[in-house]
Structure 1
């Protein structure tokens, strides 16, 4: 992981992250690292398949792979870095940055560079997601189905709005048109049935650009926090939305919080599913085809403050 001047880094940038802010965010960080004697390579994301080849090469060289972007960018490479036994760093530069928020990571260039230079690799958990015949996906923060996944689809269509307004706008509009689903949530073999507005399987406590959906979640406890919000009136859900930002929603009677290591989710209708801001598909209709989410304890070495 070291060169004569210190660590070596391979920065991977999603140029669309943060409404195009990611490329500018990396410049001062890379400058500080180079001034400190580190070797820094910067690559703009060439697509999902080519980027994995870049990760392979970087890890083989002993370089720290650095995700520059948001939660989607992080999740797109975290699984590969984990599988190869590499180390990952983060430059938060997306719209949500919820995983960075969970970890208390700074956004100021000097502070980010200091963590990359002096931080300690710490093992954190990841999520493994299997949905139908699709290939396994690895997600860092959370997997969700229902009104929040609908909101994620809306966010992708309203990039013309200022970043701070995109998620609140999407949340309100998705709540106004949501269709509750009859879901089966099997946690470590125990089945639970709900008429639900949303189901969230969380490694990180935050999603949706700052919503504290799973207040008790920890990224290194080897457990998944499962949050189910039962269907209520649209007015009731709209009134409870502000409570999600500080985690107070878990005190409401329609909110259920459970924990486990393996979660299977199925139900009807086939509402969207998402993971870390990216679409995953739709909720399977039968238990035999249920989406399966497993925790991967200590799967990823992530550079964090000492």
Structure 2
């Protein structure tokens, strides 16, 4: 293959940036030509990925879920082969696809890969004209607000900023009124947490939509009714096991197409900001051609 390697040296807090030369070497050892692509902006990374697809190259993303997310914007529904070299903190999408979690082992698997398999992706369309793809989970409740607050903060740096954002959002916690249409059936409800998943986890292993299958042509939805601060925090540890869905205050749905609206809510997918609600989210079967 002729490979465009989208590399994010800051993924995983930069701990694996030094592995880039070895990743390139292992890909080349499989007989592939490798062109390393870096960019100073998210849009720049996506544009270079799209250029690689137009030139007939395969695209490999080296980084965390955010870097993979950018790669998906370039390859989704194009038929271009796509590989993942996980080098982030959580790597949820790669883990849930059953890919090697070790950076160098993943590069070796891609180098030796002679086949691809089809994987579903989710396509988001916003009322503001935004169009985006995601592979893992879209958050449109408490976790989305935490991301939005953390992105506005300039201090502290690192993971403490996210932890502080959680505390501040808990203090500001309130339910929102949502309107959701699933397969032509509309409901209106108040909630503090809404998530739509193509695969089951986000945030480094939070199995928010357990059982989500990226090959079944459907998306999974989890909705939690209005909860107090203490109740929400008691529920969150259960998410690692996926047992929160057995709580009577949590509802689950499965559908190919979801329309979701709420005032003052911004959707985040794969940890990346997408757009304000309302949005329409649709599963596109086989939209990703994954190198295995």
Q: What is the distance in 2 between the residues matched to 1:25 and 1:181?
A: 44
Query: Where does structure 2 lack aligned partners over 5 or more consecutive residues?
Result: none
Contact 1:28 1:109 in 2 (8 A): no
- What's the counterpart of residue 296 of structure 1? 284
**What residue in structure 1 maps to residue 213 of structure 2?**
218
Tell me, yes or no, if structure 1 residue 114 matches structure 2 residue 108.
Answer: yes
Per-residue CA shift, 1:236-260, capped at 9, x if unaligned?
1111110011101001011111000
Shift of 1:201: 1.0
Q: For the residues of structure 1 that align with 2:7 and 2:103, how far apart are their CA atoms?
A: 15
Determine if contact 1:167/1:209 at 8 Å carries over to the other structure.
no
Which one of the candidate residues 164, 168, 174 is aligned to 2:169? Answer: 174
Matched, 1:204 2:199: yes
Structure 1 length-normalised TM: 0.86
Is 1:47 the equivalent of 2:35?
no
Structure 1 residue matching 2:76: 3-state secondary structure? helix
Aligned to 2:98: 104
Query: 2-side partners of 1:115 and 1:155: how far apart?
Result: 35
Give the 3-state SS of the residue equivalent to 1:84 in structure 2: coil
User: Structure 2 vs 1, CA of residues 134 and 40 (structure 1 numbering), >3 Å: closer, same or farther?
Assistant: same
- Flag structure 1 segments of 5+ consecutive residues without an equivalent: 1-6, 284-289
1:168, CA displacement in angstroms? 5.8
Taking structure 2 as the reference length, the TM-score comes to: 0.90
User: For 2:59 and 2:28, how far apart are their aligned partners in 1?
Assistant: 15
Partner of residue 87, structure 2: 93
Distance 1:295 1:196 in 2: 23
- Note the aligned Cα RMSD (angstroms): 2.2
Deviations 1:16-68 (A, max 9, x none): 32223453233222122223432211111243444344223423444320111
Kindly indicate whether the alpha-carbon contact (under 8 Å) linking 2:221 and 2:252 is maintained by their aligned counterparts in 1. Answer: yes
Kept in 2: contact 1:188–1:260 (CA 8 A)? yes
